A and B are shown apart, each in its own frame.
Chain A
Amino acid sequence: MMGHGSLGRLAATRLVRNPIGLAAAMMLMAVTVACLVGPFVTGHAPGRIYPDLVRVAPSLAAHPRADDLRPVLERLAFRMRLRLDDVAQEDGKVRLTLSSELRTDPRVLTYLPRSDLFGEPTILAREDEGRRLVVSAPVRELRFLLGTDALGRDILTRSLVAGRVSLLIGLVATVVALMVGVSYGAVAGYVGGALDAVMMRLVDILYALPFVFFVIVLLVFFRSSLGLILVAIGAVEWLDMARLVRAQTIALRGRDFVRAAEALGRPAGAILRHHIVPNTLGPVVVAATGLVPRVILLESFLSFLGLGVQEPATSWGGLIAEGARALESAPWILAGPAAFLVATLVSLNLLGDALADALDPRLREA
Chain B
Amino acid sequence: MLYVLRRLLQAVPTLFLVIAASFFLMRLAPGGPFDLERPLPKASMDNLARIYGLDQPLALQFARYLGSLLRGDFGPSFSFRDLTVVELFARGLPVSMTLGALALMVALVCGIGLGALAAFRRGGFWDRTSGLLAGASLAVPSFVVAPLLQIVFGLTLRWLPVGGWEGGAPGHLVLPVITLAVPQIGSIARLTRTALVETLNAQHVRTQRAMGLPPARIARHALRAALIPVVAILGPTAAGLLTGSVVVETIFGLPGIGRYFVDGALNRDYTLVMGTVVLVAVLVMILNLVGDVVAALLDPRARQRARLGR
Closest to B280 in A: A210
Q: How far is the CB of B217 from chain A (nearest CB, A)?
A: 31
Residues of chain B with a CB closer than 8 A to A212's CB:
243, 246
Residues of chain B with a CB closer than 8 A to A217's CB:
22, 25-26, 265, 273, 277
A112 contacts B by Cβ under 8 Å = no
B168 contacts A by Cβ under 8 Å = no
Cα of A327 to Cα of B247 in the assembled complex, Å: 16
B18 contacts A by Cβ under 8 Å = yes
Residues of chain A with a CB closer than 8 A to B136's CB:
346
Interface code B96-129, partner A: CB below 8 Å = 1, 0 otherwise? 0000000000000000000000000000000000
Please state if A216 and B261 are interface contacts (CB–CB under 8 Å): yes
Contact status of A209 and B281, CB under 8 A, knowing A324-B143, A349-B135: yes
Residues of chain A with a CB closer than 8 A to B146's CB:
324
Those 7 A-B pairs whose CB atoms lie nearest each other, nearest first:
A221-B29, A345-B139, A220-B265, A346-B139, A212-B243, A338-B144, A304-B143
Cα of A216 to Cα of B26 in the assembled complex, Å: 11
Cα of A212 to Cα of B246 in the assembled complex, Å: 10
Residues of chain B with a CB closer than 8 A to A338's CB:
144
**8 Å CB contact of B251 from A213, A216, A324:** A324
B235 contacts A by Cβ under 8 Å = yes
A334 contacts B by Cβ under 8 Å = yes
A to B CB contacts below 8 Å, 29 in the list: A208-B285, A208-B288, A210-B280, A214-B22, A214-B25, A216-B262, A217-B25, A220-B265, A221-B25, A221-B31, A221-B268, A297-B141, A300-B143, A301-B141, A304-B143, A304-B247, A320-B143, A324-B147, A327-B150, A327-B155, A331-B151, A334-B144, A341-B144, A342-B139, A342-B140, A342-B141, A345-B140, A346-B135, A349-B139
Residues of chain A with a CB closer than 8 A to B236's CB:
207
Residues of chain A with a CB closer than 8 A to B242's CB:
210, 213
B60 contacts A by Cβ under 8 Å = no
Please state if B262 and A210 are interface contacts (CB–CB under 8 Å): no
Interface code B253-293, partner A: CB below 8 Å = 1, 0 otherwise? 00000000110011010000100110011001100100000
Please state if A220 and B135 are interface contacts (CB–CB under 8 Å): no
Q: How far is the CB of B128 from chain A (nearest CB, A)?
A: 10
Please state if B26 and A320 are interface contacts (CB–CB under 8 Å): no
The tally of CB-CB contacts under 8 A between chains A and B is 105
A317 contacts B by Cβ under 8 Å = yes
Q: How far is the CB of B92 from chain A (nearest CB, A)?
A: 14
Residues of chain A with a CB closer than 8 A to B285's CB:
208
Q: How far is the CB of A221 from chain B (nearest CB, A)?
A: 3
B250 contacts A by Cβ under 8 Å = yes
Closest to A300 in B: B141
Closest to B141 in A: A297
Residues of chain A with a CB closer than 8 A to B14's CB:
205, 208-209
Closest to A208 in B: B288
Contact status of A317 and B143, CB under 8 A, knowing A208-B14, A221-B25: yes
A129 contacts B by Cβ under 8 Å = no
A350 contacts B by Cβ under 8 Å = yes
B174 contacts A by Cβ under 8 Å = no
Please state if B251 and A305 are interface contacts (CB–CB under 8 Å): no
Q: How far is the CB of B259 from chain A (nearest CB, A)?
A: 11
Q: How far is the CB of B273 from chain A (nearest CB, A)?
A: 6
* Chain B contact residue count (CB 8 A cutoff): 45
Residues of chain B with a CB closer than 8 A to A177's CB:
none
Listed in ascending order, the chain B residues whose CB lies under 8 Å from chain A are: 14, 17-18, 21-22, 25-26, 29-31, 135-136, 138-141, 143-144, 146-147, 150-151, 155, 235-236, 239, 242-243, 246-247, 250-251, 261-262, 265-266, 268, 273, 276-277, 280-281, 284-285, 288
**8 Å CB contact of B235 from A208, A327, A342:** A208
Please state if B277 and A213 are interface contacts (CB–CB under 8 Å): yes
Please state if A210 and B243 are interface contacts (CB–CB under 8 Å): yes
Most buried by A among B135, B144, B151: B144
Cα of A216 to Cα of B288 in the assembled complex, Å: 22
Q: How far is the CB of A24 from chain B (nearest CB, A)?
A: 11
Please state if A293 and B141 are interface contacts (CB–CB under 8 Å): no
Residues of chain B with a CB closer than 8 A to A346's CB:
135-136, 139
Residues of chain B with a CB closer than 8 A to A324's CB:
143, 146-147, 251
Please state if A210 and B239 are interface contacts (CB–CB under 8 Å): yes
Please state if B143 and A213 are interface contacts (CB–CB under 8 Å): no
Residues of chain A with a CB closer than 8 A to B144's CB:
320, 334, 338, 341-342
Cα of A81 to Cα of B239 in the assembled complex, Å: 61
A185 contacts B by Cβ under 8 Å = no
Residues of chain A with a CB closer than 8 A to B150's CB:
327
Please state if A305 and B25 are interface contacts (CB–CB under 8 Å): no
Closest to B289 in A: A208
Please state if A210 and B143 are interface contacts (CB–CB under 8 Å): no
A323 contacts B by Cβ under 8 Å = yes
Q: Which of A317-351 contact B (CB under 8 A)?
A: 317, 320-321, 323-324, 327-328, 331, 334, 338, 341-342, 345-346, 349-350
Cα of A209 to Cα of B26 in the assembled complex, Å: 18
Closest to B31 in A: A221
Q: How far is the CB of A204 from chain B (nearest CB, A)?
A: 9
Closest to A353 in B: B135
Closest to B29 in A: A221
Residues of chain A with a CB closer than 8 A to B155's CB:
327-328
Q: How far is the CB of B249 from chain A (nearest CB, A)?
A: 11
Cα of A297 to Cα of B143 in the assembled complex, Å: 10
Contact status of A323 and B25, CB under 8 A, knowing A213-B277, A217-B273, A221-B268: no
